[in-house]
């Protein structure tokens, strides 16, 4: 008996030692890891999204802002399990037999899913809280999905979402921010858009994403196994920092007018596209930057893309050969170097042999006594090359660099092209016979506008900018950094060139002293500018086309007191840009309409009348 008791006690002792050892092992070896796992299972990290900053024009008009909304979400697999448990319990309480419960359970769950799929769209539609159709079939498919997470509907009004979440078991109303673009396609090429997850995709939304997006907040809380928050466990709270607001230099009213004008011009001329940039002369700020076929972010994106619309900002990303609009560089350089004067008379032949290349004017003529002013007013290729030859290749290359040709302007937008300019050491025999007349190089509409801004601003080139200021979430306003400034030519030269190029808009009843852009003149004002017609390269032959052109115009208004620069490009028009295809093969009427609108809107005083016609063709 004693021996048996000793064996039993010994056995209990061994078991006790094993249990104590096991417990010690759990506490010392496995304990920290198990505790960490338990904490990880209980802890929930919640993200408090930062509000994205708004974008406004120079007058405070909203271009983009964020509106709070909710997304209705569900865990389909968990929802169906919980609904099955609820129905199972309800039928057992009603005293139903197990066999009957099993036979009806799936059907009851399916009936609830169908009800949810029908009622949720109805509640949303009745509220008028979102645009677009919410289809019951789409919701039912998501409720039946073999997944752990589905978004039933996005962009739901918070109050409506809360009502739906409280009505239907398993539906959550998750926080969501909706980016609103109240002006539709107006300015969208500049502003861009954000993705569904709130990241900037195009335009300013992409290039200034870090400024606009802010920093999300976060917090940690523990939850029980049934998902209930455990009181007193809130910790590690980091509040969100909202994004900064960005004020652009754009003028919404002007942008709207220019964009609509371009769309009409494209339709009138049957062109592939049209674009324009308006700069403030004194600051270099972009007042309007528009191109045709800009997408409306509020519409059906896929349908618009299929119709040829896009988010491209072609005014900065699609360079083109400028044609004669670039001749102003030769004019400025030769005047600055003292190689000619506005009234010097040149005996200009119909063609010129230069650097192994023969170049002719666009119209046949014998030797004509054009003044320097007339060479540019009549847009003579031959006369321009005669002046460029005086300047020389090295000096001309230097002036191209001063005007910023061949490099991006630094505008605060993505995908800006530097254009195309052959490096000086790569110039061949014919290069210098092409560049001064706007062939063999390319630049964007913004770069074209910048050239004329330099001359309108007493020869001082100010790199164009489109962000005026940034206002942080604390209300502190930060002005944009000062843009780079380059004195391209002297104020005297700039004034002389601007005055000379008034000849382009000059209209002589006899035709002798008329310029190539007389239909771009603004009644009551002196204006200055240059037309351009650049042949496109035929992709089939690799040679310049005789039928497809880029039509350009850049101008200054008023010429006697420069305020605005307007640069326009029309791609491959089949007729004129005015109503019914009128206006000739020129973009000058678009300059006229934009300049007239601005001068009238801003109440700019009219110019003193010109005393006499400028002499283009010496008698």
Give the residue numbers marked as catalytic: 324
Dihedral of CA 309/586/399/441: which sign? positive
- Please choose, from the candidates 279, 251, 266, 249, the residue with its C-alpha nearest in 3D space to the C-alpha of residue 183: 251
Measure the CA–CA gap between 430 and 601, rounded to whole angstroms.
47
What pairs with residue 193 in β-bridges? none
How far, in Å, are 79, 83, 541 from residue 148 at the CA level?
Answer: 9, 15, 58
Q: Is residue 555 a contact partner of residue 520, using CB atoms and an 8 Å limit?
A: yes
Tokens of 461: 């080139």
Residue with tokens 């964007």: 444
Measure the CA–CA gap between 237 and 263, rounded to whole angstroms.
51
How far, in Å, are 334, 455, 457 from residue 461 at the CA level?
Answer: 18, 8, 7
| DSSP label at residue 28 | I
Q: Give the three-class secondary structure for 88.
A: helix
Ordered DSSP codes for 282-338: TT-BEEEEEESSB--TTS-HHHHHHTT-B---HHHH--B--GGGGHHHHHHHHHHTT
Nearest 5°: the CA angle 115, 229, 158 is: 45
How far, in Å, are 132, 297, 306, 369 from residue 301 at the CA level?
Answer: 13, 7, 9, 57
Ordered DSSP codes for 227-240: SPBPTT--EEEE--
Upstream peptide bond of 450 is cis (omega within 30 degrees of 0): no
């Amino acid at each position: 008996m004693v021996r048996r008791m000793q064996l039993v006690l010994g056995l209990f002792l061994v078991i006790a030692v094993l249990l104590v050892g096991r417990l010690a092992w759990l506490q010392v070896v496995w304990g920290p890891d198990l505790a960490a796992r338990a904490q990880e299972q209980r802890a929930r990290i919640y993200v408090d999204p930062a509000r994205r900053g708004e974008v406004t024009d120079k007058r405070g008009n909203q271009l983009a802002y964020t509106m709070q909304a909710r997304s209705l979400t569900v865990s389909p697999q968990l929802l169906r399990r919980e609904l099955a448990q609820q129905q199972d319990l309800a039928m057992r309480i009603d005293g139903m037999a197990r066999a009957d419960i099993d036979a009806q359970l799936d059907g009851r769950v399916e009936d609830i899913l169908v009800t949810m799929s029908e009622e949720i769209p109805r509640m949303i539609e009745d509220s008028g809280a979102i645009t677009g159709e919410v289809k019951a079939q789409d919701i039912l498919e998501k409720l039946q999905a073999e997944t752990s997470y589905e978004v039933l509907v996005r962009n739901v009004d918070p109050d409506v979402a809360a009502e739906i979440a409280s009505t239907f078991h398993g539906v959550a109303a998750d926080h969501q921010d909706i980016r609103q673009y109240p002006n539709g396609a107006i300015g969208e090429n500049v502003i861009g858009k954000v993705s569904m997850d709130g990241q900037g995709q195009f335009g300013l939304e992409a290039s200034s994403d870090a400024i606009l997006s802010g920093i999300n907040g976060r917090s940690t809380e523990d939850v029980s196994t049934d998902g209930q928050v455990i009181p007193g466990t809130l910790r590690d709270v980091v509040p969100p920092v909202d994004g900064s607001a960005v004020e652009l230099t754009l003028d919404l009213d002007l942008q709207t007018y220019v964009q609509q004008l371009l769309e009409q011009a494209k339709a009138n001329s049957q062109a592939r596209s049209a674009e324009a940039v308006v700069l403030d002369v004194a600051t270099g700020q972009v007042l309007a930057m528009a191109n045709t076929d800009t997408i409306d972010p509020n519409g059906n994106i896929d349908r618009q893309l299929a119709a040829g619309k896009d988010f491209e900002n072609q005014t900065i990303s699609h360079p083109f050969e400028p044609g004669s609009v670039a001749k102003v560089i030769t004019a400025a350089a030769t005047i600055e170097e003292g190689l000619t004067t506005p009234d010097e008379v040149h005996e200009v032949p119909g063609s010129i042999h230069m650097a192994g290349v023969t170049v002719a004017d666009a119209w046949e003529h014998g030797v004509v006594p054009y003044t320097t002013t007339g060479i540019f007013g009549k847009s003579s290729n031959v006369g321009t090359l005669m002046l460029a030859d005086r300047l020389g290749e090295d000096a001309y290359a230097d002036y191209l660099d001063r005007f910023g040709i061949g490099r991006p302007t630094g505008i605060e937008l993505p995908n800006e092209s530097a254009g195309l300019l052959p490096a000086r050491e790569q110039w061949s025999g014919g290069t210098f016979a092409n560049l001064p007349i706007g062939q063999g190089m390319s630049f964007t509409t913004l770069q074209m506008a910048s050239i004329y801004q330099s001359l309108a601003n007493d020869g001082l080139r100010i790199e164009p900018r489109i962000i005026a200021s940034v206002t942080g979430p604390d209300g502190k306003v930060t002005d944009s950094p000062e843009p780079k400034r380059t004195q391209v030519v002297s104020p005297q030269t700039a004034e002389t060139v601007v005055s000379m190029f008034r000849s382009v808009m000059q209209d002589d009843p006899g035709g002798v002293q008329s310029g190539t852009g007389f239909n771009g003149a603004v009644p009551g004002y002196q204006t200055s500018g240059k037309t351009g017609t650049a042949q496109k390269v035929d992709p089939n032959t690799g040679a310049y086309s005789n039928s497809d052109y880029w039509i350009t115009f850049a101008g200054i208004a008023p010429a006697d007191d420069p305020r605005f620069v307007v640069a326009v490009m029309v791609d491959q028009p089949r007729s004129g840009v005015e109503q019914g295809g009128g206006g000739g093969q020129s973009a000058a009427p678009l300059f006229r309409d934009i300049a007239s609108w601005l001068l009238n809107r801003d109440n700019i005083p009219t110019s003193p009348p010109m005393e006499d016609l400028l002499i283009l063709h010496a008698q």
